[in-house]
Amino acid sequence: MCGIVGYVGAKEAGPILIEGLRRLEYRGYDSAGLAVISPEGRLGTVKEAGKIAQLEGILDEGMPPGTCGIAHTRWATHGAPNRLNAHPHWSQGRDIALVHNGIIENAEVIRSKLSDLGYIFETQTDTEAVVHLIDEAFQENSTLEDAVLTALRQVEGAYGLAVVSSRDPGKIVVARKGSPLLIGIGKNGENLVGSDASAVIQHTKEVVYLDDGDCAVLTAEGYRVFHIEEGNVQRSVHQIEWDLEAAEKGGYEHFMLKEICEQPESIRNVMRGRLLEETGDVRLGGITLSDEELAGIRRIVITACGTSWHAALIGEYMLEELTGIPVEVEYASEFRYRSPVLEDGTLVLAISQSGETADTLAALEEARARGASTMGIVNTVGSSIARKTDFGIYLHAGPEIGVASTKAFTSQIVALALFTLYLGRRRHLSILQGRELVAALRALPDQVAQTLALGPLTKELAVVYGDAQNFLYLGRGYQFPVALEGALKLKEVSYIHAEGYPAAEMKHGPIALIDDDMPVVALAPRDSVYAKVVSNIEEVKARSGRILAVVSGDAPELIGKVDHLIEVPHTVPALLPVLTSIPLQLLAYHAAIHRNRDVDQPRNLAKSVTVE
C-alpha cells in the first residue's frame, strides 16, 4: 500500500523525507520519490523504481536544497511499477508536485477533458489527472489550497494526497477522502504530514487525524484544517501512545491481526468504482474480452495454490450456480505435470496474491502453450502472473505482509463474485438477481466490520481450546472451502493439526476421531444446506464432540446442541464465506498467540513460494 510523508519547517527536507519513507517501507512498495521546494521557489523532484536506498543515491543530483517537501512510496495500482509511474507527479510547467494514495475513479473522464484542453499525459496513473486538474484550477485561483479545492470538487474516488507548488511556496496542501492522512504537529517551527503515524513519529507524537472531506494547509508556523463543504473546522489533537515499531503495524501487535482488521477497507477497495446498482452489473476495466468472446467461454479451469486454491473452490460454486458455465479447480502443482485437456472455449483462470507463485505461473504457462485463453485474479500489480495472463482483475488489497493470507483471501472471493456477476449478466442472470448481488456486495464491508467484533470471543475460545492437539473443521456447499481455509490458517500459525472436511463426508471416516479432546468447528450459516449441517452437528454431539458453530443470525435449532455459537451477520450464500472465514482467521491468530508462536513468520513458511 502506498505511503505519504511531507515536511515543512526550518531543516533540510530531503533527509527527513527519506527517513519518513524508510518508516513506511514496512507497508510494501515498488517505487518511491520525493519533491522539495527551495526557499527561492525552485521545485526539484527525484523518483525511482525499486528501493529507497536507490533514491537516496540520486538525491543530490539536481535537487535544490529546500525546507518544504513531500514524498511517497508507491505500490502500483494503475500502470506498471516503474520510474515514470512513481510519485510525485508534476504539472507540465514542473511547478506543482503531488503524491497520492487511493484510486481516482473518474480519472479517464478527467484525462479526456484535459487532453482536449491540450494537457499531455506522460504516465499510466490515475494520479496524473489530479495534478493537471490542479494546474488548470490555478488559472482561476491565487492560492494552492484554493486550486486544490477547485480540482477536488471534480474528483470522484478515494484519495489521501499532498501537494506543493513553486507558485505558492512554503506550504503543503493535503486532502483526505477514504485514504488515511494525519498531520504531525512539530515542536520547533515545523509540521509534517503522513499517511500513518509511523511516518512522523520520530519528530512528534502529537497528531491530528483528518476526516473524510478534510483538507489542510501546513506551513512552518502552523496548520489550518478546512472541510471541502463546510469551510474551516477544528480537529482534535491526539497523543500517539505507541513506539516506532508498533506504529509500523498501525498499533496492532502483528501484521496478521492488522490485515484481518483491514478487511472492511480491502473489500471496499476491490469493489471501488466497479458496482453498477442500476443495471445489477459490474464494470471491470481489466476484462478486455468482447461480449461475443465471453459468450464463447464454455468451460473454466481455475488454478491456484494454498489459500488462493480455497478461494478458487468458492469461485467454482459461484460461477456454476450463477453463470451455468462448468468449472474445475486444479492445484497448480498438479495441473502443470499432467496432460490437461483444454478444448476450444476453455478459459484458464489463475488466482494468486503475490502473482509470483512458481507452480501457478508454470500452470499458466502450460495453459498458454495449449492455446487456452488466460485470466488472472492477482493482488500484486505488474507481477509475473499479472503480466502473463491475457486479462484480469486486480484485488487492490494492499500488500499482505503476514505470511498467513487473510485479507487477500476475502478480496479474492469478492473479485470472483464480481467476475461471476459480469459473466452472469452477459448470459442468463436477470437484472433482479444482479441487483440483489450488487446490494449484498455493497453491504459487505460494514458486515465485515461488525464481524470483527468477534475478536474478544475468539480470543476466549483460543484460550479454552488452544491446547488441543487436533481440530476438525466441517462445512458444506460454499462453506466446505471455508472449512479447508479455517483448518489451514490454524495449522499455519498455531501448528495445531487441523483438517477441513465436507460435513457429510465425516461419517465416511473422520468420525472415528471424534472425542472430547478434538474440538469441531462447524460452519452452519443459514443457507440451503443448513438443516443438513444441523444433522451433522448432532452426529458429532452424539459422540461427545465439543462444537464451535459459526452461524449467520439466530440459530435456535443449535442452542443446547453446540458448546459455543459464533454469530456473523447474514448475507447471500455466495458471499457468506467472506463473513464466516473471519472468526476462523481470528481464532487461528489467537490460538497462535496462546501458544506463543511467531504469528507473522511461522516456521518453514515463505510469503511468496517462488520455487517448486
Catalytic residues: 2, 607
Name the residue nearer to ligand F6R (CB basis): 160 or 306.
Answer: 306
Give the binding-site size for ligand F6R (rule: CB under 6 A): 15
| Residue of the chain from 91, 125, 179, 354 that contacts ligand F6R (CB under 6 A) | 354
Per CB under 6 A, contacts with ligand F6R among 274-333 are: 305-308
Q: Give the sign of the dihedral formed by CA 514, CA 515, CA 519, CA 524.
A: positive
Q: How far apart are CA 417 and CA 3, in angstroms?
A: 29
Q: How far apart are CA 60 and CA 452, in angstroms?
A: 47
Name the residue nearer to ligand F6R (CB basis): 389 or 536.
Answer: 389
- Binding segment toward ligand F6R, per CB under 6 A, in 36-44, 73-81, 347-355, 497-505: 347-355
62 exposure class (CB count in 10 Å sphere: 0-12, 13-18, 19+)? exposed
Per CB under 6 A, contacts with ligand F6R among 437-496 are: 488, 492
Taking CB atoms, the residue at the shortest distance from ligand F6R is: 306
Per CB under 6 A, contacts with ligand F6R among 392-411 are: 404-405
- Binding segment toward ligand F6R, per CB under 6 A, in 260-268, 348-356, 473-481, 495-503: 348-356
Q: How far is the CB of 548 from ligand F6R (least distance, A)?
A: 21
Residues 568, 525 contacting (CB under 8 angstroms): yes
**Grid coordinates given for 36:** 522539495
Please give the backbone phi and psi of residue 65, each rounded to the nearest 5 degrees, phi first: -70, 145
Q: What residues form DSSP beta bridges with 299?
A: 346
Name the residue nearer to ligand F6R (CB basis): 263 or 357.
Answer: 357
Amino acid at 485: E
| Residue of the chain from 67, 85, 303, 360 that contacts ligand F6R (CB under 6 A) | 360
Per CB under 6 A, contacts with ligand F6R among 583-612 are: 608-609
Number of Cα atoms under 13 Å in the Cβ half of residue 468: 25
Q: How far is the CB of 218 from ligand F6R (least distance, A)?
A: 39
- Binding segment toward ligand F6R, per CB under 6 A, in 170-178, 279-287, 346-354, 557-565: 346-354
Q: How far is the CB of 447 from ligand F6R (least distance, A)?
A: 23
Q: In 251-304, which residue ranges form alpha helices assigned H by DSSP?
A: 255-261, 263-271, 291-295
Residue span 204-243 as binding mask against ligand F6R, x where in contact by CB under 6 A, dash where not: ----------------------------------------
Q: How far is the CB of 360 from ligand F6R (least distance, A)?
A: 5
**Grid coordinates given for 292:** 461475443
Q: What b/e readout covers 347-381, taking b as 16+ CB neighbours within 10 angstroms?
A: bbbbbbbbbbbbbbbbbbebbbeeebbbbbbbbbb
Residues 367, 374 contacting (CB under 8 angstroms): yes
Which residues in this chain contact ligand F6R in the complex, by CB under 6 A? 305-308, 352-354, 357, 360, 404-405, 488, 492, 608-609
